[in-house]
Amino acid sequence: MLKKICDPAWEQPLYVTDQVEVYIDLHRKGFYVLPCLGEDNRDESFPGALYAVEKLEELDFAPLDRIYRRLAGLPWEILETERLLVRETVVEDADRFYRIYEEPSVTAYMEALCEDKDEEIACIESYIEKVYAFYGYGMWTVLEKASGEVIGRAGISWREGYDLPELGFVIGVPWQGQGYALEVCEGILEYARETLEMKEIQALVRPGNERSVKLCGKLGLAPDGETVVEGVRHLVFKKKL
C-alpha cells in the first residue's frame, strides 16, 4: 500500500506506506514518509521513523498535519486563547527570548538563558528533537495574536526526581499586568486535562515570587509544602485536573 496525502499548506506531500522497501526508498530520497502498521508488518523495522499509524482510514487530518510538521521541522500550534497563540518554540525565537530575559525582574526567580546565544540555540534544537518529538509537549512560545509578538514562554515539563508534570510560565515585562499569564496558564491547564489527559499538575515557585504565588491561587493550585531544587528552596503548589 502506498498513499500520497497532499494539503495546500504543505510544501510537499506526505507518503504513507506499509512496505518497508518503499519506506526506505522514499526516506532515502528525502520525502516525508509515514509507516502504516498492520498484522502483516507489525514486527518489521522502519529505520528512522519517528511515527507510525494504524487504520489510516480512521484518522482525521489533524494528527497527519502534526506528523507532517514534525517531519518537515515545522512547529506545532498547541492552542489559542482569546488574545494569545501558543506554539512550539523555534530557533528564531531566541532573539526575542533574550530581550525578555534581559530584564532583571524576570531572572530574579528563574534561570537565565545561556550567555552564548549559539549555545542557547543548540539547546533549543536539542529540545525540539528530544522533548517535543518524544513527549509531544514541553515549554512553548507564547505570542500575542494582535501583534504577532513573542511575549513569553509557558508549558508543561517533567522535572527529574518528581512524579508530577510541572506548569511553567514567564511573561515579558512589557506585557505584564494585562492578565496574559492567567489567560495562557488557564489554556494550558485545560489542554493538559483534555488533550494530554493528565490528572494532576504542580508548580514550583521560589519564595518571594509573589506574582507567581498569586497566580497559582487564581489557577486553583493549592500550597503543598516545600522542596529543594539544586540547592534552592521552592514552594510547591498542586492541582487535580
Per CATH, the number for 77-240 is: 3.40.630.30
pLDDT value, residue 86: 98
- Mean pLDDT across the chain, nearest whole number? 95
| Mean pLDDT score, 232-241 | 96
- Locate the domains of the chain by residue range: 2-71, 77-240
The helix (run of H) or strand (run of E) holding residue 187 is: helix 180-194
pLDDT tens digits, one per residue of 115-171: 999 999 999 999 999 999 899 999 999 999 999 999 999 999 999 899 999 999 999
pLDDT value, residue 7: 94
Give the whole-angstrom CA distance, residue 121 versus residue 16.
32
Do the beta carbons of residue 65 and residue 126 sit within 8 Å?
no
pLDDT value, residue 194: 97
Give the whole-angstrom CA distance, residue 81 versus residue 83.
6
pLDDT value, residue 43: 87
pLDDT value, residue 167: 98
27: amino acid identity, one letter:
H
8 burial via Cβ count (<10 Å: 0-12, 13-18, 19+): exposed
pLDDT tens digits, one per residue of 177-215: 999 999 999 999 999 999 999 999 999 999 999 999 999
pLDDT tens digits, one per residue of 34-71: 999 998 898 899 999 989 999 998 889 999 999 999 99
pLDDT value, residue 147: 97
pLDDT value, residue 75: 96
| Mean pLDDT score, 14-43 | 94
pLDDT value, residue 23: 96
